[in-house]
Chains A and B, each alone.
Chain A
Amino acid sequence: MFGTYLVRELSNRRKQTVIIAIGMALAIALVIVVNAVSAGVRNAQASVLESIYGVGTDITVSQPAAAPGEGDMAGPRFEFGADDGTTTDGTTEISQSRLMAGFGSTTFDASALETVLGVDNVAAATATLSLTNTSFSGELPDFTQMQGGGEGGDVMQAPPTGGADGAGGSAFDVNSFTVEGVDVAGTAVGPLTAATLSDGRAFTADDAGTNVVILDESYATSAELAVGDTTDIGGEDFEVIGIVSSTSADATTASNTYIPLDTAQALADLDGQVSTIYVQATSADAITQVQSDLEEALPDATVNTQADLASSVSGSLSTAGDLISSLGTWLSVIVLAAAFLIAILFTISGVARRTREFGTLKAIGWTNGRIVGQVAGESLVQGAIGGVIGVAVGLLGVLVVNRVAPTLSAGAASTAAVGPGGGPGGGFVGGPMAEQASATSEVTLQAPITLPIILIAVGLAIVGGLLAGAIGGWRAARLRPAEALRSVA
């Protein structure tokens, strides 16, 4: 009887069923999409962090940038002697490549690594040197001819504005990429732990001090380089021995190129200097202790934990994360509450409309329990229908998101602030190189669907149905059986 009555009611009072189910379906679909997308954003943040800092890195140690003006390490500087380049027809063609410490990070003595390894509960640590290779090529007008039209000896101070029609008829091409000096011994932590070798070979201990380079796959593609090729870094030829890609899909690795640490130090004139130490703690519980011990042992250094790093992920990814977590959650809550309210109100009005019907059933011997069960059963099924439709629509929505696969850019700000550029060399700083200060990667958003999300969504629909059913049933239970005898209105 229960089943027959339920099916008859739902199919004959279709409007109520449809409205309650649609409301519930919308809410459930929204919950699924919001959950999946925010999980996707979280995954993207994790993969960005992983690709930049490596798998297993709990803590990084770096040194804040020194105040600008204290020397010339803050910016690239090209020094051209009058004899550089080849001169034809009064124009000098020059080409030079320089390697220097990356912006925003200061190098410090490698002995800090020993200090780090001496701290309790440090499982592994490795030091790297982050450099930027800037190559410059272009044409300079003959200085001797320029002297006449120029303003005395100030020619070099006029900023070259780029194109061939720029000031003084000069043409420049400035190119830069990041170079990471890494420990060739291969450690448990560090930037390369998040990378897989897609071609060639990894570093071995024999590579120490040699001019070999491993390239990031996307950089290799854009620079048209392959294993076995030779490329110029800091004015020297390097042999490409391997190509790596990020283990997390769609993210690039921490640096464009990787070379042995000692080679990097020698080439950049930074003997015994490093810029970042990657630290792994023995357990997650030990991280706080290791952090405070490190801060004590290295008072000048900045010590960041994974949690600090996560908050440093910026860019559209972080905007998307904020949007999803605030707007998405609130929207879900509001729509869910509205759907519940609709279900409750429609159930109550349904019970009011069926006063006579329930009175009659009571008069012929139906107990309150049986009537409450009937009302609750109807609402539950309406909610469940909404839940099933909602799951289907939600999955479709997630599928659309994954098809569109929006690309988010994420920057993990370097641990130290970027100092104002513009060393004494002047002119060339800024633009493309400033961006190198923070590692930027593009991540395509993939919203994962997990069984728990679906179960929670269906559970919410059932809770909504039960709630409406409980309230409607309570109303029905309060009806007097004598209502059946009320004269026909």
Chain B
Amino acid sequence: MYLLKNVTKSYDQSKRRVTALSDVTLEIPTGQMVAIQGPTGGGKSTLLQMLGALERPTSGTVSLGDAELSSMADARLAGIRAKEIGFVFQGFNLIPTLTAQENVETALAPMRLSATERASRARKALESVGLGDRGNHRPAELSGGQQQRVAIARAIVKNPAVLLADEPTGNLDEETRDEIMELLEGLWRDQGLTLILVTHDSAVAKRAQRRLHIKQGKVTEKK
């Protein structure tokens, strides 16, 4: 599924050059559940950006299936993101003016679907995260756990190959954290997703098949 070869990503900050990822070579097979851990500033989010086709590496190659992400034009990267990749964020990142149903529909906007098909697929996705009755609520009217469920529905509504999550439980209490993790695991198991999540939480990381540790841009496998 994913193949990263000698990936380096560096940023030019005001004076110095920061290497967020340093010569990372990594393979992630289809259907794997991977947890990424590491100290803050270690490069976890940067790695997720490479996997999520949000940024191109400074050097090295990133491929997703047959697609060579590191050399693709912006518009084609957007197309890959629209079809293949689902994203879940720590801050939920829902659009505050849209209802839950409409937020889920934004993920289908890039596809050529009729309004009714879009609506029915979004409704099903909301049902699958247990929010079938909250479609007309705006984010501000939902609890943190419910907002993250809407965000998960938005991520899976397009039936992506990969689900990437950056600290999906970071803003939630323990009880809600477990609920969300069970939901993600269930989706991973039932839909054959490749699930890659960044977490500080060892309890969350223990659920994964594989654990990666990232520190100062270097990736190591953790047993």
Cβ 8 A contact of A365, one of B55, B105, B107: B107
Distance (whole angstroms) from the CB of B163 to the closest CB of chain A? 12
What string of 1s and 0s marks CB contacts (under 8 Å) between B94-106 and chain A? 0111100010011
B154 interface residue, CB < 8 Å from A?
A: yes
The residues of B that contact A484 with a CB separation of less than 8 Å are: 54, 87, 89, 93
The residues of B that contact A368 with a CB separation of less than 8 Å are: 74-75, 78
The residues of A that contact B87 with a CB separation of less than 8 Å are: 360, 363-364, 484
Contact of A12 with B97 at beta-carbon distance under 8 Å, contacts A364-B154, A485-B49 already known: yes
B45's nearest neighbour on chain A, judged by CB, is: A485
Q: Complex formed: what's the CA distance from A485 to B89 in Å?
A: 7
A residues 354-389 in Cβ contact with B at 8 Å: 356-357, 360-368, 370
Is B93 in contact with A356, judged by CB distance below 8 angstroms? yes
Q: Which bucket holds chain B's interface residue count? A: 35 or more
Is B97 in contact with A8, judged by CB distance below 8 angstroms? yes
The residues of B that contact A487 with a CB separation of less than 8 Å are: 90-91
Cβ 8 A contact of B78, one of A8, A13, A366: A366
Q: Complex formed: what's the CA distance from A9 to B106 in Å?
A: 14
Q: Complex formed: what's the CA distance from A484 to B94 in Å?
A: 11
Is B81 in contact with A488, judged by CB distance below 8 angstroms? no
Is A367 in contact with B97, judged by CB distance below 8 angstroms? no
Contact of A4 with B107 at beta-carbon distance under 8 Å, contacts A356-B93, A485-B54, A488-B171 already known: no
B172 interface residue, CB < 8 Å from A?
A: no
The residues of A that contact B83 with a CB separation of less than 8 Å are: 365
Is B110 in contact with A370, judged by CB distance below 8 angstroms? yes
Q: Complex formed: what's the CA distance from A363 to B48 in Å?
A: 12
The residues of B that contact A364 with a CB separation of less than 8 Å are: 81-82, 86-87, 106-107, 154-155
Distance (whole angstroms) from the CB of A13 to the closest CB of chain B? 7
Contact of A481 with B109 at beta-carbon distance under 8 Å, contacts A4-B102, A360-B89, A488-B171 already known: no
Distance (whole angstroms) from the CB of A481 to the closest CB of chain B? 5
Q: Complex formed: what's the CA distance from A1 to B118 in Å?
A: 9
Is B110 in contact with A367, judged by CB distance below 8 angstroms? yes
Contact of A5 with B102 at beta-carbon distance under 8 Å, contacts A370-B110, A482-B55, A488-B91 already known: yes
The residues of B that contact A361 with a CB separation of less than 8 Å are: 95, 106
B52 interface residue, CB < 8 Å from A?
A: yes
A369's nearest neighbour on chain B, judged by CB, is: B75
Q: Complex formed: what's the CA distance from A488 to B85 in Å?
A: 22
A residues 1-26 in Cβ contact with B at 8 Å: 1-2, 4-5, 8-9, 12-13
Is A360 in contact with B93, judged by CB distance below 8 angstroms? yes
The residues of B that contact A357 with a CB separation of less than 8 Å are: 93, 95-96
Is A363 in contact with B106, judged by CB distance below 8 angstroms? no
Is B91 in contact with A365, judged by CB distance below 8 angstroms? no
Is A1 in contact with B166, judged by CB distance below 8 angstroms? no
Is A370 in contact with B109, judged by CB distance below 8 angstroms? yes
Is B48 in contact with A5, judged by CB distance below 8 angstroms? no
Distance (whole angstroms) from the CB of B45 to the closest CB of chain A? 5
B29 interface residue, CB < 8 Å from A?
A: no
Q: Complex formed: what's the CA distance from A364 to B81 in Å?
A: 6
A480 interface residue, CB < 8 Å from B?
A: yes
B79 interface residue, CB < 8 Å from A?
A: yes
Query: Which of A356, A360, A361, A366 has the most CB atoms of chain B within a 10 A radius of its CB?
Result: A360
The residues of A that contact B108 with a CB separation of less than 8 Å are: 1
Q: Complex formed: what's the CA distance from A361 to B80 in Å?
A: 14
B80's nearest neighbour on chain A, judged by CB, is: A365
The residues of A that contact B110 with a CB separation of less than 8 Å are: 365-367, 370
Is A1 in contact with B78, judged by CB distance below 8 angstroms? no
What string of 1s and 0s marks CB contacts (under 8 Å) between B149-171 and chain A? 00000110010000000100001
The residues of A that contact B97 with a CB separation of less than 8 Å are: 5, 8-9, 12-13
A residues 407-425 in Cβ contact with B at 8 Å: none
What string of 1s and 0s marks CB contacts (under 8 Å) between B19-57 and chain A? 000000000000000000000000001001100101100
Distance (whole angstroms) from the CB of B168 to the closest CB of chain A? 12
The residues of A that contact B54 with a CB separation of less than 8 Å are: 362-363, 480-482, 484-485
Cβ 8 A contact of B166, one of A2, A8, A485: A485
Distance (whole angstroms) from the CB of B33 to the closest CB of chain A? 20
Distance (whole angstroms) from the CB of A326 to the closest CB of chain B? 45
Is B78 in contact with A5, judged by CB distance below 8 angstroms? no
Q: Complex formed: what's the CA distance from A335 to B25 in Å?
A: 60
Q: Complex formed: what's the CA distance from A484 to B53 in Å?
A: 13
The residues of A that contact B52 with a CB separation of less than 8 Å are: 363
Contact of A365 with B81 at beta-carbon distance under 8 Å, contacts A1-B118, A356-B93 already known: yes
The residues of A that contact B55 with a CB separation of less than 8 Å are: 480-482
Distance (whole angstroms) from the CB of B15 to the closest CB of chain A? 21
Is B95 in contact with A367, judged by CB distance below 8 angstroms? no
Q: Complex formed: what's the CA distance from A5 to B109 in Å?
A: 11
A-B contact pairs, 7 of them (CB 8 A): A4-B102, A8-B102, A356-B91, A368-B78, A480-B55, A482-B55, A485-B89
Residues of A within 8 A of B (CB): 1-2, 4-5, 8-9, 12-13, 356-357, 360-368, 370, 480-482, 484-485, 487-488
* Nearest 3 interchain pairs by C-beta: A365-B82, A12-B97, A488-B91
